[in-house]
Amino acid sequence: MESLQELVKGLEQKGILKTPSIKEALLKVDRAHFVIPEYKDYVYHDRPLPLKEGQTISQPLTVVFMLELLQPKKGHKVLDVGSGSGWTTALLADLVGEEGNVYAIERIKSLKEFGEENLKKLKYKNVLFIEGNGARGLPEHAPFDRILVNASAKIIPPALKEQLKTGGKMVIPIDNLYGHLTLLNKIGENHYQEEVYPGFTFVPFIT
């Protein structure tokens, strides 16, 4: 892929990218702002790229698949767990708009600072970055309309389930024998529905 437009078009042609607002956000939030310099030549390739501290910026196909499951809307309050370079955080911030809020939690200080600086350059004002353990969530800012987790857990952390608003959605990678994404719908207090999508691999969720 030579350009952002070609990358987005390819995701549409594969049937992964379907929602107009997500397409608009992808074209506005250029992945090039979030890649470390030594990988700039690969920024529009549909592949994960290394970051510092052994972490990665996720493959565009995977990010779009997760956002399509999550369906963030204007005005939503979103928790972004494992915010990394801040690319997904910026996409979420664009999707929820000025009336919404994104809380980005990252356990690695240098990555938290990297992502925070990236979003400052793009002048997003509806995002709060926090250094901390994503498995605990952010109870002081709960409940959340949407929760996106960017690392694979063995189970869905109970604190994140509790902090999800009734009617809300969480997308989280689960690493069992075979990696998959789980879409969790909270349909009532302590009542959940799960949908599973196999074939995804993420860095591990470290608590």
Listed in sequence order, the residues at least 6 apart from 127 whose beta carbon sits closer than 8 Å to its beta carbon are 89, 90, 93, 101, 102, 103, 104, 119
Q: pLDDT digits over 175-186, tens only?
A: 765 678 999 999
- Which pLDDT belongs to residue 206? 62
- Per the rule left: phi > 0, alpha: psi between -120 and 50, beta: everything else, 200 is beta
Give the H/E segment covering residue 25.
Answer: helix 20-28
CA distance 207 to 153: 9
Structural domains of the chain sorted by starting position, each given as residue range(s) with its CATH number in brackets: 62-198 (3.40.50.150)
- Which pLDDT belongs to residue 62? 93
Residues that are catalytic: 58
pTM for the structure as a whole: 0.94
CA distance 97 to 33: 19
Q: pLDDT digits over 93-138, tens only?
A: 999 999 999 999 999 999 999 999 999 999 999 999 999 989 899 9
